[in-house]
Structure 1
């Protein structure tokens, strides 16, 4: 492929570990939990009262996932190895995919021990396709769509000199969106404005990284493909071998937290489309107080930093099918009709059925009107015969004594997204009082 596969990674410029723990004794594992600043920043404890991602599968397209790590055990499904055709377990020195999986769905291994993901009840579908050895990100995305994922995390980011290669990845993103699967990608770690794919593909959700003060991380790529931002700096997560931990910075981490937030929403609102899930994340995102007033979307923050608690509990209009996502050209033809995704044959059948139904309604309606006219004429003749005196109909001459034929007015349906209680104090990023 023509992609520059030097992982300009969305990748954790990453887990070239700032912290590296091997066997992780209890004291270290306890410290690991305390060092997960993003969980506190994102109000995880309050979030988990509303959703933990149950029933949702998140595909992680990366260098493999260590399913035997004590914090991930039981949450990793059988996936696909496109690199060697074997196990989806990573090579001993590869930590990236395991770290992303743990940010999303690790469960920890004690009350305060180890790494816990933002969506700890979601399942991980590991897909090993990374660097130059696999068939391409497009193949991996299509596999994820066809094997049960409703969110796809791609913490890789490639630029390309080949439009053909860009089109392959973008077509795969369009394929995912057409089947109601949300693709989340890291914006890249070059600290410039180059476009990286699949984050820049129409229909994908591109994510930049912020630090624990809420300001943008210096290495985060900027540009029109950045729709949201999320914690990405100094993120502690699980290693690819053994039960250790490492930490690093990058838009990879930010993409993983955003994928986890999407999983939380897909669990709580299973009837919303991928675009409507993105809409809830966008509508509740915030900027640091010092950045308030920026025109949105901003090329660094996008629409702002994810706030999963607000996205879960605020009253947000459902919005259109694709929400704020850029609609791929291949799907635009369907946006003009309400039955998006319906084939021509299915549409024709639906039209015929509607015509038959309305024809029947018309015939019945005419019959009812005829019967009413007949009864009124008959009653009028009877009234003329008895003068309306004792023994007459006794009804009001205009309405024939009949009650309202339409019954009581239909009440408004309950809004499933009613306003929930206000979030707790301590909003992040820090706001001026």
Structure 2
């Protein structure tokens, strides 16, 4: 609902509008970690490093097109994502704060000079320049593994112990957008204040965790503030949480950080006793303080990520275990093999007929494996149809966030306070919006 008579928001209204701060009890969280020393790469539309809530927290970054768009943003999106992760406010409690106010943002522009995606190059650049977490609040409809350069870039991040957090997408689809669907990426869905899934959030087996993503007060380019919804915002909250964990537990691998996030989730009532990960919530909703403080084993290096990190072997496959319970078998692993004879002694006879059956079964199994591997190679070698743009079709993301009135309502585009109206940018011709 738009209204033209909105009062100018005061500083405390902006901060008070950040309902997530009390939801996560940030004062308590910050007594444990503020993300000191952690670099989070934001591959997006660029970040306004001069925003008062981000000043001093934004590194130079990179624009593969050489136009300086990494710190000269083409829209508000990248600045808002950076703010959710690492904004520190200004003055005496003015402006917005992110989850990890002592972390640094590495802004990387998402496209090349010709408007095509630079995502694989951007990921590798982030890894090579000190990022420990990479936020990808963007997406396309490309299938997982359909772009070898992207798959290789995710593997490169895994090899170098960098956690990639990706958005599930905002189209109410039952498929997760790329790159969130790539094995090795921690895919995120969005929930509202009540913990209900945002209706437009995509779902699918790749979703590992959900986080707040509705009515989010955010920093926008030009020193302004906006309000936005989406899995983009939820992804930024998970990236901020990962930054806090990487500062608190520097000895943990990227996979173990992801494991800590999903093992300490708040499990909605609808998932109690159900098999997880759920296609909408993943293992559950981000529980920040619990992730930082709960006493849980580090687990295997790959955690729940799989893909380039190795076989997925945790967390457990029930919601109670996902919340920290013990005794369940790890998800994605095979049960232990039993004796062929079924007896207690290896020497207690196996009849000739049984032996023939076992050998025959083994031959059939080998043949099936050969057929499956051959089919997989044929699929992997397939070439996308001509004209298919890099990393999927045209973008399917919502328009830029609306200006924020300070009272939890969107307002028509207009100057915020006494600031000048934001500049209007032409649409960018690239696969991400």
TM-score over 0.5 for the alignment?
yes
Alignment match, 1:401: none
Secondary structure at 1:81's aligned position in 2?
coil
Alignment match, 2:20: 38
The answer to whether the 8 Å contact 2:143/2:178 transfers is no
CA 56–161 in structure 1, closer or farther in 2 if over 3 Å, else same: closer
Q: Are 1:318 and 2:298 matched, yes or no?
A: yes
Q: Are 1:123 and 2:104 matched, yes or no?
A: yes
Q: Are 1:207 and 2:188 matched, yes or no?
A: yes
CA distance in 2, matches of 1:183, 1:19: 39
Alignment match, 1:189: 170
Structure 1 segment 107-122 matched on structure 2, within 5 A: 107-122=88-103
Counterpart among 281, 290, 307 of residue 301 in structure 1:
281
Counterpart among 68, 89, 105 of residue 50 in structure 2:
68
CA distance in 2, matches of 1:239, 1:46: 27
Counterpart among 63, 81, 105 of residue 100 in structure 1:
81
CA 293–72 in structure 1, closer or farther in 2 if over 3 Å, else same: same
Alignment match, 1:358: none
Shift in Å at residue 159 of structure 1?
1.5
Secondary structure at 2:90's aligned position in 1?
coil
Shift in Å at residue 87 of structure 1?
4.4
Alignment match, 1:146: 128
CA RMSD across the alignment: 2.5
Q: Deviations over 1:178-217 (max 9, x none)?
A: 1000000000001111231111111110000000111110
Shift in Å at residue 282 of structure 1?
0.7
Q: Are 1:52 and 2:34 matched, yes or no?
A: yes
The answer to whether the 8 Å contact 1:220/1:250 transfers is yes
The answer to whether the 8 Å contact 2:145/2:151 transfers is no
CA 306–271 in structure 1, closer or farther in 2 if over 3 Å, else same: same
Give 5+ residue unaligned stretches, structure 2.
314-433
Q: Which segment is superposed worse, 257-266 or 134-143?
A: 134-143
Secondary structure at 1:311's aligned position in 2?
helix
Alignment match, 1:226: 207
Alignment match, 1:411: none
Shift in Å at residue 220 of structure 1?
0.6
Shift in Å at residue 130 of structure 1?
4.5
Q: Deviations over 1:146-179 (max 9, x none)?
A: 11000000000111279642x3212211110110
CA 152–31 in structure 1, closer or farther in 2 if over 3 Å, else same: same
Secondary structure at 1:80's aligned position in 2?
coil
CA distance in 1, matches of 2:220, 2:304: 35
CA distance in 1, matches of 2:261, 2:52: 31
4+ residue segments displaced more than 4 Å = 17-20, 161-164
Q: Are 1:250 and 2:230 matched, yes or no?
A: yes
Counterpart among 69, 72, 78 of residue 60 in structure 2:
78
CA 63–229 in structure 1, closer or farther in 2 if over 3 Å, else same: same
Structure 1 segment 351-362 matched on structure 2, within 5 A: none
CA distance in 2, matches of 1:262, 1:134: 29
The answer to whether the 8 Å contact 1:61/1:130 transfers is no
CA 266–87 in structure 1, closer or farther in 2 if over 3 Å, else same: same
CA distance in 2, matches of 1:49, 1:19: 40
CA distance in 2, matches of 1:110, 1:181: 34
Secondary structure at 2:307's aligned position in 1?
coil
Give 5+ residue unaligned stretches, structure 1.
1-16, 336-433
Aligned length: 311
Q: Are 1:282 and 2:262 matched, yes or no?
A: yes
CA 161–209 in structure 1, closer or farther in 2 if over 3 Å, else same: closer
Secondary structure at 2:107's aligned position in 1?
strand
Alignment match, 1:158: 140
The answer to whether the 8 Å contact 1:18/1:248 transfers is no
Alignment match, 1:395: none
CA distance in 1, matches of 2:61, 2:145: 29
Shift in Å at residue 230 of structure 1?
0.3
CA 321–191 in structure 1, closer or farther in 2 if over 3 Å, else same: same
CA distance in 2, matches of 1:323, 1:52: 23
Structure with max Cα Rg: 1
Shift in Å at residue 39 of structure 1?
1.5
